[in-house]
Amino acid sequence: MNAGRELSASLEDYLEAIFCIIAAKGVAHAKDIAKRLRVTASSVTGGLQALAKKNYIRYTPYEAVTLTSEGEKLAKDVVRRHQILKDFFTNVLAVDEKLANEGACKVEHSIPPPIVEKLVSFMEFVEICPRGGQQLVDGFRHYHKTGSKENCKRCIVPSLEKLKKGKSKTKGKANMTLAGLKPKQKAVVIRIERRGPISRRLADMGIGRGALVDVERVAPLGDPIVVKVKGYHLSLRKEDAAGIIVSID
């Protein structure tokens, strides 16, 4: 037993694989799981039996497997840890995608959840820091590639100007709702207007004033809108998004 965790690393990987395969192809067959995890089909059967006994999946021999709601919750959590780590490895540490994925899929099982949350928080902060957090990261990538700190010295100037401009603009800046944002825009939550299932869902994830929201996709008519916030990927109906007051930088 992976001390303190619900599941062992191995069973987390089976669950993660099942979730991802269902997401991609609709149903999860043992063969796909085996291929993805590079184990034999008989090992998969063993894993499925273990997950079924713990009630994370519905398993009938020879049939495709489905996730219980418990299993789906846990699977999403594994996937989230994976994504966050991969994000950090690629976007901050400039690790190439393949290694970042491999590393994330190992580390995801051993890193303590509170440290994952700190990591999310740190990456958010880097994105919004007026001191040029993102540029610091860019500077690091350049430094790492070339060994030169030149770029770092040079780009502080534009970074400052941007900051000053931002400052004077702040007063006249109008707040808006999440429903009005476009893909790739970032915003900070000011407050959540309406009370109800959505605001509770947000609160459960610790999303409130000050949280950074990252718009990922907006469907043709603005409904639904997919955002990333605190490392979670969220799909919101336009109606609900309109209840979230945000401020853009």
Residues that bind Mn ion (CB under 5 A): 13, 16, 82, 105, 108
Burial of 246 by CB count in 10 Å (0-12 exposed, 13-18 middle, 19+ buried)?
buried
8 A C-beta contact, residue 212 and residue 124: yes
Q: Which does 50 bind (CB under 5 to 8 A by kind): Mn ion, DNA, a copy of itself, none?
A: DNA
Q: Which does 144 bind (CB under 5 to 8 A by kind): a copy of itself, Mn ion, DNA, none?
A: a copy of itself
Verify binding: residue 8, a copy of itself, rule CB under 8 A.
no
Question: CA-to-CA distance for 109 and 5, rounded, in angstroms?
Answer: 9
Three-class secondary structure assignment of 189-200: EEEECCCCHHHH
Which positions lie near DNA, rule CB under 7 A? 1, 8-11, 29-31, 37-50, 59, 61-62, 64
Q: Which does 155 bind (CB under 5 to 8 A by kind): a copy of itself, Mn ion, DNA, none?
A: a copy of itself
Q: Which does 83 bind (CB under 5 to 8 A by kind): DNA, a copy of itself, Mn ion, none?
A: none
Q: Which does 82 bind (CB under 5 to 8 A by kind): a copy of itself, DNA, Mn ion, none?
A: Mn ion
Closer CB to DNA, 23 or 219, in the complex: 23
Tokens of 184: 């790739």
Q: Which of 5, 29, 20 is nearest to 72 (CA)?
A: 20
Q: In the sheet where 212-218 sits, what is the strand order?
A: 176-177, 244-248, 186-192, 212-218, 225-229, 232-236
Residue ranges in 149-178 that form contacts with a copy of itself under rule CB under 8 A:
149, 152-153, 155-156, 159-160, 163, 167
Sign of torsion over alpha carbons 241, 243, 244, 246:
positive
CB of 84 to DNA, least distance (A): 23
Q: What are phi and psi of 190, to 5 degrees?
A: -95, -50
User: What 8-state DSSP symbol labels residue 62?
Assistant: T
How many residues does this entry show for the chain? 249
Closer CB to a copy of itself, 69 or 204, in the complex: 204
Q: Which does 133 bind (CB under 5 to 8 A by kind): DNA, a copy of itself, Mn ion, none?
A: a copy of itself
CB of 22 to DNA, least distance (A): 13
CB of 123 to Mn ion, least distance (A): 18
CB of 97 to DNA, least distance (A): 24
